[in-house]
Structure 1
Amino acid sequence: MEILLWLVPSAVVTGLAMLWVGWWGREGRGEVDREVAVARMAQALRRESPARYAARPAPARDRSRGIAVRPSRSTSGR
Structure 2
Amino acid sequence: MEILLWLVPTVLVTVAAMCWVGWAGREPREVDREVMVGRLARGMTRETPLRYAAPRPERDRSTGIAVRPSRARKAS
| Corresponding residue number in structure 2 for 1:44 | 43
TM-score (norm 2): 0.57
- In the alignment of these two chains, the number of paired residues is 66
Which one has a larger percent helix, Structure 1 or Structure 2? 1
How many angstroms apart in 1 are the aligned matches of 2:20 and 2:47?
Answer: 42
What percent of counterpart residues are identical? Answer: 58
| 1:35 CA displacement | 1.1
Structure 1 gap ranges (5+): 70-78
| Corresponding residue number in structure 1 for 2:23 | 23
| 1:64 CA displacement | 4.0
1:56–1:46 Cα change, 3 Å: same
Structure 2 gap ranges (5+): 68-76
TM-score (norm 1): 0.56
1:32–1:13 Cα change, 3 Å: same
Q: Which residue identity lines up with residue 59 of structure 1 in the other structure?
A: R
Cα-to-partner distance string for 1:9-67 (whole Å, 9 max, x where unaligned): 221121221122123213xx2443211221221232233333221331222234443x7
Q: CA RMSD in A?
A: 2.8
Does residue 7 of the first structure (1) align with residue 24 of the second (2)?
A: no
How many angstroms apart in 1 are the aligned matches of 2:16 and 2:37?
Answer: 38
How many angstroms apart in 2 are the aligned matches of 1:37 and 1:2?
Answer: 53
